[in-house]
Structure 1
């Protein structure tokens, strides 16, 4: 069956809350949990950005069944890829093999903080390709001396590795990135429910692969409250990833979204108590071929009530509606 996940949205919740939500998400029946990896929230109203790797380390100890994943980490500017490999291997050990390393080319919002310039997209892809080569080699246990255009290592080696190497998922958005990264990754990450992305990936990828997507929802018993919360916390979502990748600050996102209205947000994010409406929105992903779909419940104030009251019945409805996956 299609697998359904819960998003640990580090931009909208503090670290202690995220760990608590993670334990509750496993309890109510989610199959996996993904964590964003940000230095900044998207907009100031969200108000948080704890270190994802510390959060995931704690989550690995309060859960025992759900798979864990970064959605996604940029291994090129803020982090050196050798350090990302070490973090991923450690999470693999702590979780007992439940961790998948999700990687992507990143956003200016999170990477500018170390004082380096923000590269153009072509150079970011060059950097990501080198980073994956370094990370893959280290996760497979190599002692690595690497001399690339963008990264170097000198006799790097990981001393604590899980029994099976951590698998790598890579975020892609079009034909060029798919053709480049499908041969290097184990799994696909994408934000839009486009079947053409899945088909291109499957054509370019050697062997079985998961396709992992993510969709925001704003559940609340009061539709108006749900819509207002989605507008306050998630209006940045309207810009699309080609815009979101390049804006550098929360002030920039606020300015870019100043004319986005609550009703505009409600057209792209299901808002309110209607679980069937959420199922209909999520169905676009499994119809496109996604095997794993992570839900983002908008707003910290709504998380606990969503997990206590809505998540279980919603998962039942989603599993009843989703098709069985082909083996």
Structure 2
């Protein structure tokens, strides 16, 4: 197996921005190779209770660390793509070679606030594709007019990096991964089922997709399985909500209502729970072997410092040996 970059996921939904900034610094000190975060306006559930502005936070995170940090964002509704292009250009100009953006079609929980209708997936993909084209043209220094689902009038981005950063795609299904292969500079997906993830990774590469293929894995390294299930039930209960509603619900209360924290089987499918770092490392290595060059670990519990200590002392050494 080729080298696998092991990163830390910084969860804005669960921590204040100031605490999360400390955690990403601790993650670098613990030995993680990189980090990532997602741009959210709201948390997934009331027990999480946070959601800072990711664009401000990532600039501070890049300024106070030295490893690469990327971010998932959704241009087209809450953010006009010209604004996204300007933000991307500024980050990459300040921190060349350390920033990447992963662009997706978004979720209603973050985008409904504009009061614009929330479109079906097919229309969201058209909007995302147009947004990506606009962003690339602006990063290349063009003056851009565009009249489609997205409308742009004579825009340009003045402060640009010497080399534009990668624009990756997000995908959770093979169909979306294959669709993204034509335009993306890499892919990021989520989960820990090796067979299902392999289908997503293979769909992207078989369709001609280039760049790194990454996976985010929700994990809970606990002192007991019962403790791990309790942490997952409290902090990641939305993982038990029906998959088809994940992009349609508008409020954390909706996710709480639609989820079942007592559904142990579904919790285990949403969060990789283990008590032994070596065992977790073997399971994560199986995920990596499904076609991934990068893996971002998200410990779903609130005690991140304890996880980072175990990651430094146990999990990361075992995982690097397992994927060597």
TM-score range, shorter chain: over 0.9
The counterpart of 2:65, out of the listed 63, 66, 69, is 63
Q: What residue is the counterpart of 2:101 in the other structure?
A: 101
Q: What residue is the counterpart of 2:132 in the other structure?
A: 132
Q: Distance in 2 between matches of 1:257 and 1:24?
A: 32
User: Is the counterpart of residue 254 in structure 1 residue 246 in structure 2?
Assistant: no
Displacement, 1:203? 2.3
Deviations 1:17-69 (A, max 9, x none): 111111111111111111111011000000100001111010011111x1111
SS at match of 1:254: helix
The counterpart of 2:204, out of the listed 196, 201, 206, is 201
- Using structure 1 for the length normalisation, give the TM-score: 0.91
Q: Distance in 2 between matches of 1:212 and 1:264?
A: 23
- Using structure 2 for the length normalisation, give the TM-score: 0.92
Cα contact 1:5–1:32 (8 A) shared by 2: yes
185-194 or 39-48, which moves further after superposition?
185-194
User: Is the counterpart of residue 178 in structure 1 residue 177 in structure 2?
Assistant: yes
Cα contact 1:170–1:188 (8 A) shared by 2: yes
Q: Distance in 2 between matches of 1:240 and 1:296?
A: 21
Q: 1:260 to 1:125 in 2, by over 3 A?
A: farther
The counterpart of 2:56, out of the listed 54, 57, 70, is 54
193-202 or 72-81, which moves further after superposition?
193-202
Where in structure 2 are there 5+ consecutive unaligned residues?
A: none
**What is the aligned-residue RMSD (CA, Å)?**
1.8
SS at match of 1:82: helix
SS at match of 2:221: coil
Displacement, 1:81? 0.8
SS at match of 1:145: strand
Q: Distance in 1 between matches of 2:189 and 2:266?
A: 22
Q: Distance in 1 between matches of 2:31 and 2:253?
A: 37
SS at match of 2:40: coil
SS at match of 2:101: strand
Q: How does 1:102-251 map to 2 (within 5 A)?
A: 102-147=102-147, 149-192=148-191, 193=194, 194-205=197-208, 208-239=210-241, 241-251=243-253
Q: Distance in 1 between matches of 2:169 and 2:158?
A: 25
Q: Distance in 2 between matches of 1:14 and 1:51?
A: 10
